[in-house]
Structure 1
């Protein structure tokens, strides 16, 4: 496939992926706001704890084979079907372990309602069987860059599950509204994707196929497990040593900035991995694509997070009510923590696409080892220190991930941080200016503080970008202008 064809597929895939995320996340965000206003922090604390265990099992179900299917140049029906049957068998084993182990988990986390925690674990665990099928579907979609199908499945799943969740919350089902929402989301999304893609497992299975893919995929799998355990380690520790409400406040403070990061960086990453895989033999084309991705995603993500941090108090009060205001300090710190995720993720995707899963694993061990050490040191100093340790750890992770690409494709750490420096400096300026404005309006209604802060912040960022002719600003402006001309 030539570079022009890859470029067209990438742009088309990025548009559909962005539409999927934006439309789905808008609905999801509205639903989450409504639910947060109805439900209590303790409900969210319990579901956050259970998600740690079910998400770990989800990762174990996939076992890195989904990434292998995308990376493998000649993956066929035998490969996809073999991965499906293996994943389903793993799901059966893991659900059995979850079911039996639920009382042990409840005994360890003794600050939570024991019987309710056991029941929620056992019911949410049923989603593993859906994940076994959906993970292969998602790999098929990414492999063939059929992101239009993802748009419909994601939108349908979010809409149906949101309606059910809100209705149950209003009727007083508490945490079970969140359980139902999660299970219905994955089920409806899988059904719609099945109808759209029409991929079905065939009656074929090959241990040889799995063995070949596992040689690449196991390192990615172990890396993802290490990353997930590291990310969830904070919640596990908070759930043990602090109250369910504390866990809910911390997770809520993380949710909003993570939502912004997922929609921007996640959209680009999901499209770029298959793109990088197609360009893995053309290092020059890869470095051009990667530089553009890093610069553009940072130019958009950094100010968005800085703006969210600056208006976090009126934002939380306006959307979630004052009962959630304790999450504001964590949100502000974590907004800055996620700013460096494009550097970390784009480098990781290029290394994976080249086929150097061994480097990915080594990086993950080093990054998460350092991050875990920082976390352990921070625990005695409280939740703010725990959040701060994540910020420091993410900066270190970005530097470590960028290091190998100087040798692999000629894109050094210094060059990468030079590329993102304008966006970082402008975002810091934006944060300081908007925070000063919102503080001066603290006596006014939350919606006034929020509206003025948002409008002022966007104006500052655009004006500075225009005056200093920031390259990413000009690139986005030209891309929008050219798109209008084609219409």
Structure 2
């Protein structure tokens, strides 16, 4: 039993290491190439494509119906289950592709932009790509093959970004972003299908599908509610304001997602299959969860709060003066991102322990609450919408935590204790760079301010961590040492 625990721990550490490392490299390169794209294009180009991505964002969950989560959670799989899910997803993907094409004119009328028609027709293929890739990725994730998944994402993102950059240099405006989406998703789909080594057979079992749906149905409903919430704000901005504002708003959201995608969601993807293997030991799951959110907060809190402090300089230096009005949106998303980075992985508890129905019930309260915040807030402009969402998201997070913690014999105070040391150190770092900016850097150029504040913030945070030694810092150093010792012994 003890040996099994160490084996699972080593597998999880290895998977987290490869997944986070490769994801970071992939996202960082895409981020750098995205900066060049932002300088070559204008916010209106990003806003136009974002209007359509509001709907294609549903591609993964609509073509998957939560079956990927069901495949991962199921202890023993057979070829009938795998192929049934594959053919079901493919059929749904084909249907959704045609639906997107059929309603392209109506979407153009909704946004009052004729360019939307051609963008919709082109991006409709994302439904097809996602339908083919969902099962292969689920199988690889179940087997903790996150190194291979990370390499595939790395290659797909880099290739898609380079092609988009070439198109932008050729003057193809928003079509550069459309082509980026198509190329990236096509390459990812082809490589996942090839590397998963699944055997595609012409077999389909309705009884098997029904059995998997008992778990996946609630996962699908939960993901649908979340996606509706995630896209409602963008749809409202695109419909009631303009594409330029949506471009600024969407770009700010993407920047905020950088640490979340590279830390929180990577760990969530590893935690789900890992915790599924110990689903009958809630106390152990609770200990792992507290350590995980502590480590996540230690990495994401200084990034988010630091970016809030330096956002005007960061935008002007990195993206250019055309994006300078993005600052309030970036600060808003970074504030929400601090909370989002640690709430994101809570879903792994529900799914790993087989409580997808409970997760759905919680989201049946949370997601409409957040949508109400958007709809009520937009009546007072975009600032009102951001305020409404902030209040709604905080309430939703408290509901999510209070429910999930009961499953693993914890309460909200355990979470507060895990996060408190990191929060104090982060606030001290933010106060130091804000004071430095106001007192000593008034006459400096934006680029010198940016460099000085980043260096000062990093040095302050590292020094305080070494001096005060909060638990998350100790845990991260232990993981690094374990990984280093394992590498040396190999």
User: If the length of structure 1 is used for normalisation, what is the TM-score?
Assistant: 0.96
Residue by residue over 1:161-189, the C-alpha shift from the partner in whole angstroms, topping out at 9 and shown as x without a partner, is 11110110010111111111111001112
Structure 1 unaligned residues grouped into runs of 5+: none
Q: CA deviation at 1:107?
A: 0.7
1:141-152 to structure 2, matched below 5 A, reads 141-152=140-151
Tell me if structure 2 keeps the 8 A contact 1:273–1:350: yes
1:351–1:405 Cα contact (<8 Å) kept: yes
How far did 1:383 drift? 1.6
Cross-structure match for 2:232:
233
1:338, 1:394 within 8 Å by CA — same for their partners in 2?
A: no
Q: CA deviation at 1:390?
A: 2.9
Q: Higher mean Cα deviation, 170-179 or 56-65?
A: 56-65
Paired residues for 1:411-430 under 5 Å: 411-430=410-429
| Conserved? CA contact 2:264–2:342, under 8 Å | no
Moved over 6 A (4+): none
Structure 2 distance, partners of 1:244, 1:406, is 41
Determine if the alignment matches structure 1 residue 30 to structure 2 residue 32: yes
Q: Could you tell me whether the CA contact under 8 Å between 1:311 and 1:438 is conserved in 2?
A: no
The answer to whether the 8 A contact 1:265-1:297 is kept is yes
Q: How does 1:327-366 map to 2 (within 5 A)?
A: 327-366=326-365
Q: How many residues are treated as equivalent by the alignment?
A: 484
Q: Is it true that 1:211 corresponds to 2:213 in the alignment?
A: no
Q: Quick check: 2:60–2:134 contact (8 Å CA) kept in 1? A: no
Alignment-derived partner of residue 72 in structure 1: 74
Hey, what does 2:153 align to over in structure 1?
154
- Relative to structure 1, the CA distance from residue 431 to residue 381 in structure 2 (aligned partners, 3 Å threshold; closer, same or farther) is farther
Q: How does 1:393-472 map to 2 (within 5 A)?
A: 393-439=392-438, 440-472=440-472
Q: 1:381 is paired with a residue of what secondary structure?
A: coil
Give a deviation string over 1:27-54, Cα, whole Å, max 9, x none. Answer: 1101111111001111100111100111
Matches within 5 A, 1:75-474: 75-110=77-112, 112=113, 114=114, 116-439=115-438, 440-474=440-474
Is this contact kept in 2: 1:150–1:193, CA < 8 A? yes
Find the residue that maps to 2:202 and give its secondary structure: coil
SS state at 2:379 partner: helix
C-alpha offsets along residues 180-214 of structure 1, whole Å, 9 cap, x if unaligned? 11110011122223333322422221111111111
CA–CA distance in 2 between the matches of 1:438 and 1:228? Answer: 39
Matched, 1:42 2:44: yes
Shift in Å, 1:56 = 1.8
**197-206 or 174-183, which moves further after superposition?**
197-206
Shift of 1:150: 0.9
TM-score normalised by the chain length of structure 2: 0.95
Contact 1:152 1:192 in 2 (8 A): no
Rounded Cα–Cα distance in structure 2 between residues aligned with 1:346 and 1:39: 34
Separation in structure 1 between the aligned mates of residue 404 and residue 110 of structure 2, nearest angstrom: 43
- Cα deviation for residue 309 of structure 1 reads 1.2
Equivalent-residue separation in structure 2 for 1:393 and 1:434 (angstroms): 30
